[in-house]
Every structure is written in C-alpha cells, then in structure tokens.
Amino acid sequence: MAGEKNDDGLVLLGFWVSPFAQRCRIALAEKGLPYRYVEEDLFGGKSDLLLRSNPVHKKIPVLLHDGKPVNESLLILQYLDDAFPETPSLLPADPHARAHARFWADYIDKKVTDCGSRLWKLKGEPHRQARAEMIEILKTLEAELGEKEFFGGEHGFGFVDAAFAPSTAWFQLTYERYGEFSVAEVAPKLAAWAARCGERESVAQSIYSPEKVYDFIGELRKKLGIE
C-alpha cells in the first residue's frame, strides 16, 4: 500500500480492515507524511510492540513517532495536526468549527460501529431495533452534511471526512445487506459524499473494497458461530 517508504520516524500499527486504522492512513496520506505500516495479527496474537505501546487498551491503531506511542484513532488524527503544523490540517482553525468537527467525529464513533455490529450479529427484534437506529443515524448525518461537498465545509475534506470515510466500505454491502436498507434511498446526499470520498486518492489507497469487508464479516460470523 502507498506510504510505506522511509518513514520520517512514523510507524502505524494497524489491522487491514479496521476503519480506525484506515482513518490514520487517510490522514497520513492527506498530509503527505511517509510512514512504515505494520500489520497486527489480531486473531493470531498481538505483538509485544503493540502491547507495550498501548498497555491500557491493547488495541490498534497505534501511531509511533520516534518511538513514542499515540493511541486512539481520533487522537492520532489530532496529534498529526499538532505535530506537523506545516502539513494540510484536518481540523479547521476556528475554535467553534473545531469543536463542531470533534463533536461529529465523536458522534460517529459512539454510534456507527456499535449499531453496525448489531446489524450483522443479531436477529429478530434486536435486529429490527438496530436497523431503525442505523437509519436514524444516517438521517442525522445527512442533515449535518446538508449541501456541503465534504463535512469539512469551507475547510474542504477534513477531520470528520477522514473519520467517516472508511465506513463507506462497510455501509456498501455489509451494513446495507445485513441491515436491509439502501444508503442511496435513506440518505442520498451521504451516498453522494461517499462516492466523492472514494474518488479521493488518500481514501482510495487506504480502504479495502466493500466485497473484501463483506467477506471478512462473513468469516467472522462463522468464527463466532452466527448462522
């Protein structure tokens, strides 16, 4: 994958299909920052480096900058803005716009993955509830996007866009199929935004196809014994 050259002291520990790791790849690409990517085997056994670098949560992604770890994907994105001020920033300059961007990235973090998991894990009434919730989430994000080209508005492709773009490969096929809905129908502006993201080089080179995500979830369901 692009970006794996001599690394400017930057190393990213990730897992190939993780949208959280992919956010970081998108951010690094947007900033033109070279880094070394290390794939963690989350099912086989986490590396000593990962466990040492994130002893509290033991999770990817982890960014190492000259050996010092930064954990949590949204914190990594903010760190990259702070540590490399000469590169294009993800967050806008205005404090209120920054708070607004952080709010929506948090909203996405709190709502999307949890609800999405329930779509492919559960059946019956809990599944129906998850579906209703997901449609609500999509409509809320649609309203926030409005007529903007990107969530970053005047700033352009920014913090919230980088945070949410990896999920486009999860909505298409996986969430839509398991959730029995269509993003294009429920939230057409969001669908158009997803297509625009997909055309962006930083996104295209950082995320895997919806087919690969769908297969991965299929395998995971088998492992978890879900029919």
Partner 1 sequence: MSPAAAVKVIGAYDSPFSHRAEAALRLKGVPYELVLEDLRNKSDLLLTHNPIHKKVPVLLHGDRAVCESLLIVEYVDEAFDGPALLPADPHDRAMARFWARFIEDKCSKPFWLAMWTDGEAQKGYMKEIKESFALLEAQLEGKKFFGGDTIGLVDLAACGFARWLGVCEEITGVSLVTEEELPRLKRWAVEYAADEKVGACLPDRALLLEHFSAKKEMFAAMAKSMLPK
List of residues contacting partner 1 (CB under 8 A): 56, 65, 68, 70-72, 75-76, 78-79, 82-83, 95-96, 98-99, 102-103, 106-107, 140
CB of 222 vs partner 1, minimal distance in Å: 25
Residue 44 vs 224, nearer CB to partner 1: 224
Q: Which is nearer to partner 1, 91 or 207 (CB)?
A: 91
Query: CB count, 10 Å around CB of 100?
Result: 18
Shortest CB 110 distance to partner 1, Å: 9
Q: Are 6 and 34 in contact (CB under 8 A)?
A: yes
Cβ neighbour number for residue 25 with a 10 Å cutoff: 25
What is the distance between the alpha carbons of residues 107 and 131, in angstroms, rounded to a whole number?
Answer: 17
* Closest CB 63 distance from partner 1, rounded Å: 9
Q: Which is nearer to partner 1, 162 or 203 (CB)?
A: 162
Kindly tell me which of 44 and 95 has the beta carbon lying closer to partner 1: 95
> Least distance from C-beta 38 to partner 1, angstroms?
19
Strands 36-39 and 10-14: parallel
Least CB distance to partner 1 at residue 227 (A): 21
CB nearer to partner 1: give 22 or 78. Answer: 78
**Shortest distance (Å) from residue 172 CB to partner 1:** 25
In the complex with partner 1, the residue whose CB is nearer, 82 or 185, is 82
